[in-house]
Amino acid sequence: MRRGEAVARSDGQPIWIATNHGAIGGGEVMLLRIAEALQELDRDVTIVAPSHPPTLAEAARELGLDVEVLDSHDRVTWMFALRRWRRRHPDGLLWCNGIVPSTATAGLRRRIVHLHQYPTGLNRLFARLARTHALAMPVPSYDMARAIPGSCVLPNWTVRFSPSTRQRADGEPFVVGFLGRLGADKGVHVLAEAMGELERRYPGQFRLRLAGESRFVDRRSAALVNDALDAVEELTDRVGWAEPQHLLDTVDVLAVPSLAPEPFGLVAAEAMVARVPVVVTDAGGLPEVVGEGHGLVVKAGDVGALADQLAALAFGDVDADLDAQAERWETEFSPDAGRERLARLLERVEQTVPVR
């Protein structure tokens, strides 16, 4: 154990982590990191997951985690199965990783309700219901906490990435990277327009390296993004889904041009540890990730401001301060930092309400 060794240790109480669904998205990535951190804290932890799809359960087993699979084939059957299971297994602490397990077990005791997305529409009601008798309601940023009364902040964390191997040769275009879902909420069309603006100003000096898929993107959003990307097709290398390290080894800057409020911004933190400059918008929790005083924050949706910032980086007019960026990651978003915060949260919860 490294930093903060004198934190909460197990007294034999089990911790069950119930997933939002059986696929793997950003919330499920954090679920696996939380489970691994709990193991490192000598906690007895088990993942509770649906039988369909089996992706998350399989990934958890590959990491050596214990898994309890409940027979279910869609969201409704998963919610009913989870509630029945919890009534039969009331012992220990149930960590509800997302709005679905939180709603399914609303009103039951000995729960932590961990939300990863801003609740909108009907989910606002579900979030209020889920809070009933919850021991704590962690969310990943202060911006999100302000939107959810009664919540507390448990920032996400990332694995440690190696410093980027990218070395731009003289005369080579400045490569702007993007990694994420190819939807309008992620601002991909705004980034495409900014690339078009850069091409008009500085012909041949910028390229876009786009990694991601249109998974979970509605038709209207996909059409908007695709039309914008078609306009800069000659400037764009579309690589499909890519491992973050691979992308970060091939770009000069990472752009996070989100329009919709981001609960956190894992990809920005990943760029920080890989020592890749990162330009973010002011959407949601993104400015919290890069930190106060970070000079590379632009107004969401402002094509000209995004183009200006990318150009300033390319031509050396601003300093990304990669040392400070990496130091901030180490202090705030490393596995050590995440494990310490997790331990403190459990300590507070279990001192207030013993979980037995």
pLDDT, tens only, 204-215: 999 999 999 887
Other CB atoms within 10 A of residue 112 CB? 22
Distance CA 269, CA 334 (A): 9
Query: Binning pLDDT at 50, 70 and 90, where does residue 353 land?
Result: low
Where are the domains positioned within the chain? 14-157+334-352, 174-331
pLDDT, tens only, 277-320: 999 999 999 999 999 877 799 999 999 999 999 999 999 999 89
Q: Which residues on adjacent β-strands are paired with residue 255?
A: 279
pLDDT, tens only, 39-57: 999 999 999 999 999 999 9
pLDDT, tens only, 97-122: 999 999 999 999 999 999 999 999 99
CATH number belonging to the domain at 14-157+334-352, selected among 3.40.920.10, 1.10.357.10, 3.40.50.720, 3.40.50.2000: 3.40.50.2000
pLDDT exceeds cutoff 90 at 11? no
Per-residue pLDDT averaged across 162-179, rounded? 96
Q: So what's the pLDDT on residue 243?
A: 94
Q: So what's the pLDDT on residue 3?
A: 46
**Which token pair is 244?**
């973050």
Q: Are 78 and 104 in contact (CB under 8 A)?
A: yes
pLDDT, tens only, 48-81: 999 999 999 999 999 999 999 999 999 999 999 9
Per-residue pLDDT averaged across 340-346, rounded? 97
Phi first, then psi, for residue 113 (nearest 5°) are -105, 110
What is the dihedral angle through the alpha carbons of 242, 246, 251, 255, rounded to the nearest 10 degrees? 50
**Which token pair is 235?**
């400037």
Percent of the chain with pLDDT over 90: 89
Q: So what's the pLDDT on residue 354?
A: 58
Residue tagged 């029945």 (tokens): 84
Q: So what's the pLDDT on residue 10?
A: 45
**Which token pair is 152?**
């507390």
- Own/partner long-range contacts of 310-318 (Cβ < 8 Å, ≥24 apart): 310/174, 310/176, 310/194, 310/198, 310/206, 310/253, 310/255, 310/279, 311/198, 311/201, 311/202, 313/174, 313/252, 313/253, 313/277, 313/279, 314/174, 314/205, 314/206, 314/252, 314/253
Among 105-109, 211-215, 272-276, 336-340, the range scoring the smallest mean pLDDT is 211-215
Average pLDDT over the chain reads 93
Query: Binning pLDDT at 50, 70 and 90, where does residue 13 land?
Result: confident
Q: Where are the alpha helices (DSSP H) in the chain?
A: 26-40, 55-62, 75-88, 99-104, 122-130, 142-147, 188-201, 219-230, 244-248, 266-273, 286-290, 303-314, 322-332, 335-352
CATH number belonging to the domain at 174-331, selected among 3.40.190.10, 3.40.50.2000, 3.40.50.1000, 2.30.30.40: 3.40.50.2000
Distance CA 352, CA 330 (A): 30
Residue tagged 């690589």 (tokens): 239
Task: Indicate if 174-331 has the same CATH topology as 14-157+334-352.
Answer: yes
Residue tagged 């309700």 (tokens): 113
Per-residue pLDDT averaged across 149-153, rounded? 95
Q: So what's the pLDDT on residue 356?
A: 54
Q: So what's the pLDDT on residue 5?
A: 44
Helix, strand, or coil here: 66? Answer: strand
Distance CA 48, CA 89 (A): 12
